[in-house]
Structure 1
Amino acid sequence: MIRSEVDGRVTTVTIDRPARRNALTPDGLESLATAVETATTPVVYLTGADGAFSAGADFGVVSELDRQGTRAFARLGQRVARTIETGESVVVAGIDGPARGGGVELALACDLRVATPEATFAETGVSLGLFGAWGGTVRLPRVLGEGEAMDLALSGRVIGAEEARRMGLVSRIVDDPREVADEVATNEPDALAVLKRRMRDDADREVQEAREAAVFADLVEEHADDLPR
């Protein structure tokens, strides 16, 4: 499900599960965390296979979990997002095609988000009676501002690359986002690492995320019969 390949100063980490639009299981999340944690290059390029970034959590798996399991899944997704956010490597998300739910949340944890013209974004959990619980309620307002974050999260609507750039969800729209990762990687690795640490230095969010995971587990329990299989 997760492929990792080193090319010079860039490690490309690919979520490779196209039959499920690169949706992630607990095993997939663990593998993703390992790939990011063990990268020794100054830049990690995170992308998805075959014209999609990620559909987020695999609800076929989530719907079979009990309350303790859904809370643990949410906490695991939060840990993976923090791994991306706090690791030594600069992580560039290359978003081609749809990013949904947890896919948006993983992208929010990245240091740079670069889209192709075909990229689309949505926090679709609200249409299923849920919400994004991999740190989304923390990072979305921080990145977009409260107004834009509320609009995206409460509506569940799909936005294109241009609107995502206007909101600040992505910084660039290019034909090949990997070129941006290569551009970043030409810079001094120590400076990249220091810049990331300083710009990421903020207050602890553990309490917020614990509450988020607990409420997510409540909602999965309530709507389990309505989740797609």
Structure 2
Amino acid sequence: MIETEVEGDVRTVRLGRPERRNALTPAALDDLAAAIDDADETVVYLTGAGSAFCAGADLDAVAELDDENQARDFARRGQRVARTIETAESAVVAGIDGAARGGGVELALACDVRVATPAATFAEPGVTFGLFGAWGGTVRLPEIVGRGDAMDLALSGRALDADDALRTGLVSRVIEEPRTVAAEIAGNDAAAVRAVKRRLRDDADREARERREADAFAKLVVERADDLRARRREEE
């Protein structure tokens, strides 16, 4: 499901499950972390195959989480992938074309640069069916867009188009070909790119907040397991 290719100083990491809008299973999360962790190129370009960036967590996998420990572990797994992106030596650029939902938004939030096409849309829809994004989203979203816009997006579940995402600071550019930004960054001195990333990423510890986020998510998953299974059957 996770596809990689290297061209010059850019490693492309592609979520390759277009028939499910690149929804991520636990195994795919592990593979994604490995693909990022293995990179020694100046830039990693993270994107999705087909018409979506990433639909977030695979709801089939979430519906199989039978107790709070399993649900908490799943949340922590996604958080570890996001931190792998955040702490990678390479600069990580998210190229978002089409829908980014839930965990897809959260993985994009962990990237150093987010670039959208005009067709990109963003939403945290979990609240509409009794959950929320727990891969670090409640931590990073207000840091990036401010608490007011974060509350609006997360509590309403509404979708933002590319222009709204640009206005809020969720993305830094809206262009037809986001990969050109990855190439632009890769054209700079590799050591300087790494040094700048380290300095800009030097912030306070957030792991305690992420643990509380995972605990809250786990409780909701267990309470709503039957509803999640029914929702998946309706989507089939």
TM over 0.5: yes
Partner of 1:96: 97
Equivalent runs, 1:204-219 vs 2, <5 Å:
204-219=205-220
Kindly state the Cα deviation for residue 2 of structure 1 after the two structures are TM-superposed. Answer: 0.1
Partner of 2:132: 131
Unaligned runs of at least 5 residues, structure 2: none
Between the aligned partners of 2:206 and 2:160, the Cα distance in structure 1 is 28
Equivalent runs, 1:129-168 vs 2, <5 Å:
129-168=130-169
Between the aligned partners of 2:163 and 2:198, the Cα distance in structure 1 is 29
Identity of aligned residues (%): 66
CA deviations 1:52-72 (Å, max 9, x no partner) are 100000011110112221111
Contact 2:5 2:13 in 1 (8 A): yes
**Aligned-partner SS, 1:53:** strand
Between the aligned partners of 1:225 and 1:95, the Cα distance in structure 2 is 32
Partner of 1:77: 78
Over the residues paired in the alignment, what is the CA RMSD in angstroms?
0.6
Between the aligned partners of 2:157 and 2:62, the Cα distance in structure 1 is 20
Kindly state the Cα deviation for residue 106 of structure 1 after the two structures are TM-superposed. Answer: 0.2
**Aligned-partner SS, 1:180:** helix
CA deviations 1:71-120 (Å, max 9, x no partner) are 11100000000000011000000000000000000000000000000000
Between the aligned partners of 2:61 and 2:78, the Cα distance in structure 1 is 14
Between the aligned partners of 1:134 and 1:92, the Cα distance in structure 2 is 18
**Aligned-partner SS, 1:215:** helix
CA deviations 1:167-195 (Å, max 9, x no partner) are 00000001000111001100000010011
Between the aligned partners of 2:181 and 2:201, the Cα distance in structure 1 is 20
TM-score (structure 2 length as normaliser): 0.96
1:51 has 2:43 as partner? no
1:3 has 2:3 as partner? yes
Q: Specify the code of the residue in structure 1 equivalent to 2:118.
A: P
Aligned residues between the structures: 229
Kindly state the Cα deviation for residue 216 of structure 1 after the two structures are TM-superposed. Answer: 0.3
Between the aligned partners of 1:69 and 1:182, the Cα distance in structure 2 is 40
Q: Which runs of 4+ in 1 moved over 6 A?
A: none
Between the aligned partners of 1:21 and 1:226, the Cα distance in structure 2 is 21
Between the aligned partners of 1:19 and 1:72, the Cα distance in structure 2 is 26
TM-score (structure 1 length as normaliser): 0.99
Kindly state the Cα deviation for residue 206 of structure 1 after the two structures are TM-superposed. Answer: 1.0
**Aligned-partner SS, 2:224:** helix
Q: Specify the code of the residue in structure 1 equivalent to 2:199.
A: R
Contact 2:116 2:175 in 1 (8 A): yes
**Is the deviation greater in 87-96 or in 61-70?**
61-70
Equivalent runs, 1:4-83 vs 2, <5 Å:
4-67=4-67, 68-83=69-84
